[in-house]
Structure 1
Amino acid sequence: MVDLSNKVALVTGSGQGVGQGIALALASAGADIVVCGRTAEKLAATCAEIEARGRRALPLTGNVKDADDLSRIVTAACEHFGGIDILVNNAQEVPAGRLLDVTDEAFTAGFESGPLATFRLMKLVHPVMVARGGGTIINLASSAAERWDPSGYGAYGAVKQAIRTLTRAAAAEWGREGIRAIAIAPHAESPGLKKWVERNPVEAEAFFRTIPLGRIGRLEEDIGRAVVSLCGPDMGYLTGATVPLDGGQANFG
């Protein structure tokens, strides 16, 4: 078991779904968690589960598209816990649909909540992590841009590919300061995926057949615990990579 005692993790979008699964897994490994999202009630529920596991939790509402909110969240986290060792950039508004159907507003929201928020938060936590001797940044990418047919996923794939590039740049520029940056590309039983399956049952059935392991990842057990492993000392030489947590479905180059 990876021991993350005395570590503090900030997880965006952790009121539900993948973010919640990651937050709970990190807490089970001993970390204290800064739980971030837009809905106070969802954050409170996640915090209650974390505290039931014997760890401390700090709920902070905010919108990742708002630079002032991000700055406030990092400041509050540092004042409450003394610093941040792990950053998980999970929150993302998805610009779904074919190119002719995606509006400028939806694409802009995807960019602002994805690569721009990731960029801002990485820069905000950088001096904090340096002061603590290093840290780990986990950014959420996607296999959408690696699909055999990207129809309907072009805008989403584009913002996620930008996150992968930012991840590699952070790994290259900050590695000597003890900061590792890793992207993960998960398939998980999130509320968003469940809605997609309901709206696209035929496409979903075909999609599931392309997953060698034959199932979608569980939020905490598969995705969250993988993140715990990536944050632990045994993975201390891994940085700059994209780790596909998708049951073997994507072929990342």
Structure 2
Amino acid sequence: MKRIDLNCDLGESFGAWRMGEDSALLALVSSANIACGFHAGDPTIMQRTVAEATARGVAIGAHVSLPDLQGFGRREMAVSPAEVHAMTLYQLGALHGFARAAGAAVAHVKPHGALYNMAARDRALADAIADAVRAFDPSLRLFGLADSALLDAGRAAGLAVVSEAFADRRYRADGSLQPRREPDAVITDDAEATAQTLRMAVDGEVVAVDGSTVRLEADTLCLHGDGAHAVAFARSLRAALEQAGLRIVAPGVA
């Protein structure tokens, strides 16, 4: 049976402000990318999300970001590779503390938002992230956009890399994601998003916005937990993947 990981960005509440239905989503995914305080999350939320993920047997990942709470980490910033290296280590260390206290461990690292897209095309920033991950723990897996500079950097650093595809995002002909600032960049129709996801998971391809077919490797599929119907979509997507003969399991899990 073919394996596929289903990951979700979680722990994105902050203080009195709440985002997403994390508990319900943790029952449906195999990997959780937990915000580390730079774009979302706070110490209490991180601790709670780690505890729930551990109880559910969901793999824990550090969702490292640019320091941009107001912009939710989705605005690009002029940062140097040295700064990105330090930011990555800082956030990894924070999540590691909560995981260790819960008797668990961080399994992977996935950049968030603008940092993710910047590292997908900028090899210097990608190397900074990969080098920070290797320095912290070379056994950690690095999640990145399929066929991106980030995965190349991870391989060069000797890390295990996990090629990611997005259930609800549109793709350009070069395999990059259509920027959120452009109209219709996010697929809001659940049936369309499910059909795209199945094609990526089963056939290893996606139809780009210009109508061309793009080949991509999908080891893990990303769900966004901040959508209005995130739980219902996660439930129906998981059912569709299992019906297609796919086993939902985190990378490295037997």
Question: With structure 2 as the length reference, what TM-score do the two structures score?
Answer: 0.41
Question: With structure 1 as the length reference, what TM-score do the two structures score?
Answer: 0.41
The structure carrying a bigger strand percent of its residues is: 2
The structure carrying a bigger helix percent of its residues is: 1
